Chains A and B, each alone.
Chain A
Amino acid sequence: MISFSVNKRRVNVDVDPSTPLLWVLRENLELTGTKYGCGMAQCGACTVHIDGQAVRSCVAPVTRAAGKEVTTIEGLSPDLSHPLQRAWLEIDVPQCGYCQSGQIMSAAVLLKEIPNPTDEDIDQALTGNICRCGTYPRIRRAVHRAAEMMTKGRGR
C-alpha cells in the first residue's frame, strides 16, 4: 500500500510499485485530466506537481509520490479560478486540448518561481511541453496575462 496526498485528499493505493504515477492517477484515482503522450518524459502531457515541483508522471514510479503532496490539473482550482486558467479562457488557448493540462501545470510552477516571466523564461519552462496543434503563441500570451493578473493582486 502506497500512501500520498492528491489534491489535498489522502489516498492509499495497492499497485505494483513500478507503476508510473500517471496511470495510478488516471486509472486508480480516476483523475483523467493528466494525459499520456509519450511515456518517456518527452512531451509533458503528464505534468503534475509533487510537493510543488513539476514532474513528468509518466516516468515517475508511484513510489516517488509516497508521503508527498501531488497536485493535478483537477486540484489547481475547483472552479477555473487559477489565474492561468482565467488567462487560458481569456486568450482562448486550447485547440484539441489534450496537452493543455500539462502546459498549465508547467506554467504554474514557473509563475510560482518567477512571478513576472520574460518570453525566454516561458520558453525555458515550457520547452518540455509539446503542443501538436501549435497553441504556443497563445500559451505565451496567456502566461504573460496570468502573471499580470497575479502581480496586480487580482489572482489567488
Chain B
Amino acid sequence: MNALRESRKPSVAGEMPRRDFLKLSVAASGGLLIGFYLPGMQPEAQAATFAPNAFVRIGTDDSVTVIVNHSEMGQGVFTALPMILADELDADWAKVRFEPAPVDPVYNHPVFKMQMTGGSTSTWSSFDQFRQAGAAARAMLITAAAQRWNVDAPSCRTENGTVIHSASNRRLSYGQLAESAARLTPPQQVTLKDPKDFKLIGKPLKRLDTPEKTNGKGIFGIDVKVPGMLTAVVARSPVFGGKLKSVNADKAKAVKGVRKVVEVPSGVAVIADGFWAAKRGRDALQIEWDEGPMADFNTKSQREQYAELAKQPGLSARKEGDASGVMASAAKKIEAVYEVPYLSHAMMEPLNCAVDLRADGCEIWTGTQFQTVDRMAAARIAGLKPEQVQIHTTLLGGGFGRRANPASDFVSEAVYVAKAAGVPVKVIWTREDDMHGGYYRPMYYHSLIGGVDADGNPLVWSHHVVGQSIVAGTPFESVIVKNGIDGTSVEGLDDIPYAIPNLSVQYHPAKVGVPVLWWRSVGHSHNAFVKESFIDELAVLGGKDPFELRRRLLAKSPRDLGVLELAAEKAGWGKPLPAGRARGIAVHASFESYTAQVAEASVDSGGKVRVHRVVCAVDCGRYVNPGIIEAQVQGAVIFGLTAAFYDELTFEKGRIQQSNFHDYPMLRINETPEIEVHIVKNNEKSGGIGEPGVPCAAPAVANAIFAATGKRIRKLPIRMSEAV
C-alpha cells in the first residue's frame, strides 16, 4: 500500500540487495505510468494490473490504488484526493488505497508546474485532474465490460466498483475487468459526473492514513533505513552567513561509533553508526567559525532600524482616495505600532534527509514539500541528471512551509554529506539544530495612523509595513515580487475589503541576512493580526460595535460578510457571558477562502489570559471532506494561538536565543479552548483550507482581551505587561 513501507521490508530482513530495494518503473512516454514494481509483488499480478494513467491502478483483487502527487503532512491529501478520483470512478471506497507518487513531471502541480505541496492548494488544484483520471479509468472499464458482453457501452453503468448491464442483469467487478481494460487505449475525452451525483465528495469520510498513524507503522523521513546506512549530525555556524575557520575532530573521532568526520559547505558532519554517537561526536568537535557580517546582529537594533524605515516613504501596495490629504480632516485619529517576531515552523519531526548516492544515480528519502526543486538541487550537487535522482516522499511530521525551501537546504546538505561519506547516510537535525537552522517567518513592523469622521465612521487608514521578503534572491522572486513589492509581505492588506474611502498601504523591504520562508498562512499570519486589531481600534475610536462596524464595511463583500455573520451568530455575539469573559471577533480572507472567528477570553488579576472558546466560520467554496476541514481549522486555530501567546525568536550577538520547546513553547492540551467549526455550504470555486484558519486566531483573542480589560495588544507574543 505504501511504497516506503514495502521498501523497508528488505532492510529489516537484511537480505535483499539494495538495487532491488525499491524499483519504480515509470514510463514517461505520453505521460502514462505503466506500473510500479514493488518487492513481493508477483509478475503475474503486475501484468494484470490496470493502470490507465499516472494516478490510479486497479488490481485483479479489486483494489484501487490512488497515486497521490502531494505530500501528506497532516492535511489529509491521502484521503481527499483519493475521494475525488474514486467518486468519478464509482469505486468501492472500502477497496481504495493510496500511495505517494515518485518524482516525475506527470505529477507536477497543475498550477505551479512543479511537483510540490503548499499554498493550501492541493485539493482544489488537483480536483479536475483527479476527476479526469477517475473518469477515464471508469470509461475504459465500461468499454472492457461492453466488449466482453458484446453490448453497447452506453447501456452499461457503474456502481460501487462494478460495471453493470441492467438489461441482461450481468455484472463484473473492476478487478475482473482489470486485465482486459489494461489492453485498451485511454479515451481522449471523458464525461464527468454532474456534481449532484457525487457519492463521496462532500462527505466526512474517515481518513485512509489513520491506521498507520495510530500503530506506529507509518514511515516518516526520520524512520527510513537503507542497508549500510550511517547517520550524520552536522555542526553548522551559530551565526547566519558564518564560515568554518578551523576544526579539530580528534575528540569526535574518539567517540565510539563515529566513523567519519567530513566538511560540507554548511559545516562539519559527524557520521556514525547511529544518532547518539553522531550527536556526541558532533558535540565533541572543536570548531572555530568566522562569524561573518552577522556576528553582532541583534533584535533590538533591528527593531530600531525597522522603526526608522517605517518613517520613510515606502512602495505603494494599495491606494484608495487620498490618505495623507484627508488625515487632517479626521474628527479623531489614532496611531499605533504593531510588531511580530521571527517564528520557527517547529514541526514535530525535526528536519532530516536520507541519501544513497551512487555513480549512476541518487535516491533520496525525505519528507519534502518541494520534490522538483530538491531533485534539481540534488542533481547539481551529485553531478547527475535530474532524471537520475529519485525522491521517495515519506510522511511529513509536519511541514507548515519549512519543507518547501527554494534553497533545498536540508536536502542539499544531505547530498553533500553522502558525497563526502561514500556510503548511504541519513542526516538528522536535533530540535536545536532545527530551531537554529533559519528559514523563519520574518519579523514584521507595522506603523499605522487611522481616523474616523464626525459620525465615527472610518475615514482614513494609513499603513507602513516593514519586513523581509521571503522570496528575494530565490527563483520565485521574479514571479512573486512585482514593482519591488513581495506580494506575500502585503497579502491581506493590499486587498483590505473594508469600505474605507482613504486607504494607503506602503511596503518597505528590509534587507537582513536572516534566512526567511513561508510559514503556515505566510503574510496573512501577521497582516491579519494587524488589520483585524486596527479595525477594532477604529471601531472603538468611533464608538461602534466591532462586529456591526465590520458588517457595514463589508456590505459589498458577500463572502467575508457571510462568515462574519455566521461566526457572530454561532458565538452569540452580544449575548451575556460569565463575569470576566469577553468576546473578540476577526474576519479575513486568504488562499481563496474566507474565515471569521469569535474568541471568548478572560484575563485574571495576574495578567494570565485564558481562551475559553473559539467559534470559527469557514467558506472554502465547494469542499471534499468536511471532517478534514474541521480538523484543519481546529489545528490552525491552535497553531495561531501558539504564535499569539508564546513564540518569538530573538537574536543576540548573531545567535538565536531560543533552542527547544522549553523556551519556544507550544500550546498544550490543557490550554486548548473549545473550538467550534462551522462550514458554509455553497458551490463557489474551491479555496484552500490548511492555512486560512490561522490568521484570525491572534486578532480574535487580542480583541477579546481588549473587550475584557481595555488593554490593546499590539505586539506578539501577547504579554499583558506590554499591552497599551
Contact = CB atoms under 8 A, between A and B. Distances in A.
Contacts of A43: 348, 661, 666
B251 to A, nearest CB: 15
A23 to B, nearest CB: 5
Contacts of B660: 38-40, 42
B277 interface: yes
B215 interface: yes
Interface string A15-46: 11011100100111011111111111011010
B118 to A, nearest CB: 15
Contacts of B396: 96
B223 A23 contact: no
Interface in B225-249: 225, 231
B206 interface: yes
B202 interface: no
B696 interface: no
B214 A16 contact: no
B256 interface: yes
Main secondary structure on B side of the interface with A? loop
B338 to A, nearest CB: 25
A132 B638 CA distance: 8
B209 interface: yes
B629 to A, nearest CB: 12
A129 B349 contact: no
A58 B418 CA distance: 26
B171 to A, nearest CB: 31
Contacts of B669: 122-123, 126-127, 129, 131, 136, 139-140
A93 B612 CA distance: 21
B214 A88 contact: yes
B213 A100 contact: yes
Contacts of A26: 223, 275
B216 to A, nearest CB: 2
A155 interface: no
Interface in A38-86: 38-40, 42-43, 45, 72-74, 76-77, 80, 85
Interface in A120-144: 122-124, 126-127, 129-140
A72 B638 CA distance: 28
A94 B210 contact: yes
B636 interface: yes
A133 B276 contact: no
B39 interface: no
A43 B346 CA distance: 11
B635 A95 contact: yes
Contacts of A45: 348
A127 B219 CA distance: 26
B431 interface: yes
Interface in B195-224: 206-207, 209-220, 222-223
Contact of B670 (A18, A100, A127, A132): A127
Contacts of B670: 123-124, 126-127
Given A27-B274, A73-B215, A133 B661 contact: no
Given A130-B661, A136-B669, A88 B348 contact: no
B506 interface: no
A98 B398 contact: yes
Contacts of B257: 16
B667 interface: yes
Contacts of A94: 74, 207, 209-210, 213-214
A32 B223 contact: yes
B423 to A, nearest CB: 16
A36 B350 contact: yes
A43 B669 CA distance: 12
B639 interface: yes
B348 A99 contact: yes
A73 B638 CA distance: 26
Interface string B41-84: 00000000000000000000000000000001111100000000
B209 A33 contact: no
Interface string B667-684: 111101011000000000
A33 B347 contact: no
A140 B218 CA distance: 22
Interface string B401-435: 00000000000000000000000000010110000
A88 to B, nearest CB: 5
Residue among B211, B214, B231, B631 with the highest chain A CB neighbour number at 10 A? B214
A40 B346 CA distance: 15
B210 A93 contact: yes
A133 B636 CA distance: 7
Contacts of A77: 215
Contacts of B19: none
Given A129-B669, A133-B74, A133-B398, A38 B256 contact: no
A30 B274 contact: no
Contacts of B515: none
A97 B397 CA distance: 7
Given A32-B219, A39-B430, A98-B349, A132 B639 contact: yes
B216 A101 contact: yes
A89 interface: yes
Residue among B275, B428, B632 with the highest chain A CB neighbour number at 10 A? B275
A18 B279 CA distance: 12
Contacts of A73: 215-216
A92 B635 CA distance: 13
A104 interface: yes
Contact of B209 (A18, A97, A136, A137): A97
A23 B211 CA distance: 24
Given A95-B631, A123-B669, A33 B217 contact: yes
A133 B635 contact: yes
Contacts of A88: 210, 214
B397 A96 contact: yes
Given A27-B275, A124-B670, A96 B631 contact: no
Contact of B350 (A18, A37, A85): A37
Nearest to B663: A42
B222 A97 contact: no
A134 B214 contact: no
Contacts of B627: 92
A136 B220 contact: no
Interface in B624-683: 627, 631-632, 634-639, 660-662, 666-670, 672, 674-675
21 contacts: A16-B277, A32-B223, A35-B349, A38-B660, A39-B430, A73-B215, A74-B216, A77-B215, A80-B214, A94-B74, A95-B74, A95-B631, A95-B635, A96-B72, A96-B348, A97-B218, A101-B216, A127-B668, A134-B636, A135-B634, A140-B669
- The 10 A-B residue pairs whose C-beta atoms are closest, nearest first, are A33-B216, A97-B213, A134-B638, A98-B397, A134-B635, A95-B74, A96-B74, A73-B216, A123-B670, A94-B213
Interface of B: 12, 72-76, 206-207, 209-220, 222-223, 225, 231, 256-257, 274-277, 346-350, 395-400, 428, 430-431, 627, 631-632, 634-639, 660-662, 666-670, 672, 674-675
Given A27-B231, A43-B348, A134-B636, 19 more contacts: A16-B256, A19-B274, A32-B216, A32-B225, A38-B661, A43-B666, A92-B210, A95-B74, A95-B635, A96-B213, A97-B212, A97-B214, A99-B397, A122-B669, A124-B670, A127-B669, A132-B346, A132-B348, A134-B634
